[in-house]
Structure 1
Amino acid sequence: MAKPVLLGLAALTLAAPLAARDSLGVFSDWGAFRDPDVPRCYAIAKAAPSRMQRDNDPYASIGTWPRRQIRNQLHFRVSRNLAADPKMSLKIGGRTFTLTGAGGNAWAQNRRMDAAIVAAMRSAGSMTLSATDNRGRRFSNTYDLDGVATAMDAATVACASLGR
């Protein structure tokens, strides 16, 4: 794993109080964390570096909230603030998914799509989210999927006891 990605994962985890999160490990480009106070567990990675203008620091996360009975919910913080109708797509391997979102955030349209995206992530090498920003310009964020399956599994196992 490249040092910038490690430093980026560390920066993402420092956004909230350190005591609130337990690191479960870093697996290639993906980190896994548990936050017992919420409770929740998640896998997270930064988008590949880009020289293009960014409004936000982009990342992808797959979260589990055991008390809410939500598992493997996908969330993207996109690099630019979205248009009112952002025409967002996520390409993973040979599959394309139409996402929904607002502001600087994107999600799958429903739990069924979450499950399909997570399954596709497990067998692909990368994924690319493309959308239109609030200035009418197209942009994309790309993620390396090395380590994603292990990070998601670590987060799922760590949350198994938090919902009780």
Structure 2
Amino acid sequence: MFVRKIATAIALVLATASMAAAQSPTRIQQFNAWGAYSYNSGGGKVCYVLSVPKEKSPAGVDHGDIFFLVSQRPGQNISYEPQAMMGYPLQENSKVNVVIDGRTFVMFTKGNSAWVENAAEEPALVAAMKSGKAMSVNAKSRKGTTTTYAYSLSGISAALKQIEACK
């Protein structure tokens, strides 16, 4: 299954211990466009919600596996950390913009991933995702291609509630 393949890749990327210590994730439950997952790593239990874009632009470009996730790592005091992961390297020193109902959140990039530039805005981004109607992620590849991804926010609140008690 495509989602399980992506979830396994995320588990390996998110594991803070050695790759050998990473375990395959378990899907807890699917909530419309968002799935809730967990796995155990050397640093403790990791829980996250994950979705894939419903639309990708430009058409005709190999985007690879694209997804957006929000993770919880209680053993590391990380709560609801949003992350965008692309199937290609992002342009160095570029920014990724997450737009929810007209409000923009800026993410810094490293490799093929992006995180909220100002960590103090993470709760606001998660709150916007929970109350929002539409989310788009705008990025630039290392080759200079501008890309846009549209995500459904249907199910995000229920999925986040599911991982609330991650311990």
- Give TM-score, length-normalised by structure 2: 0.81
RMSD of the TM alignment (CA)? 2.2
Contact 2:6–2:65 (CA under 8 A) maintained in structure 1: no
Q: TM-score normalised to the size of structure 1? A: 0.82
SS in 2 for 1:122: helix
Q: Is 1:129 the equivalent of 2:137? A: yes
The answer on whether the counterparts of 1:35 and 1:41 sit within 8 Å (CA) in structure 2 is yes
Cα pair distance change 1:87/1:66, threshold 3 Å: closer
Aligned to 1:115: 123
Output the CA distance in 2 between the equivalents of 1:86 and 1:105: 11
Match of 1:11 in 2: 5
Deviation at 1:76, TM superposition (A): 0.8
Higher RCO (CA 8 Å, separation ≥ 6 residues): 1
> What is the alpha-carbon distance in structure 2 between the residues aligned to residue 54 and residue 100 of structure 1?
22
Question: How far has the Cα of 1:106 moved from its partner?
Answer: 0.7
Determine if contact 1:55/1:81 at 8 Å carries over to the other structure.
no
Retained in 2: the 8 A contact 1:79–1:141?
no
Residue number among 2, 23, 33 corresponding to 2:27 in the alignment: 23
Aligned position for 1:48:
54
Tell me the CA shift for residue 140 of structure 1. Answer: 1.1
**Is the 8 Å Cα contact of residues 99 and 109 (structure 1) preserved in structure 2?**
yes
How do 1:15-94 residues align onto structure 2 when only pairs under 5 Å count? 15=9, 20-37=24-41, 38-50=44-56, 51-94=59-102
- Aligned partners of 2:47, 2:112: CA distance in 1, in Å? 22
Decide which structure has greater strand share: 2
1:3 corresponds to = none
| Matched AA of 1:56 | G
Unmatched runs of 5 consecutive residues or more in structure 1:
1-6
Indicate the SS of the match to 1:47.
Answer: coil
Residue correspondences, number:
153
2:152 to 122, 133, 144: 144
Deviation at 1:97, TM superposition (A): 1.2
Give the residue type in structure 2 aligned to 1:11. K
Give the CA deviation at 1:141: 1.6
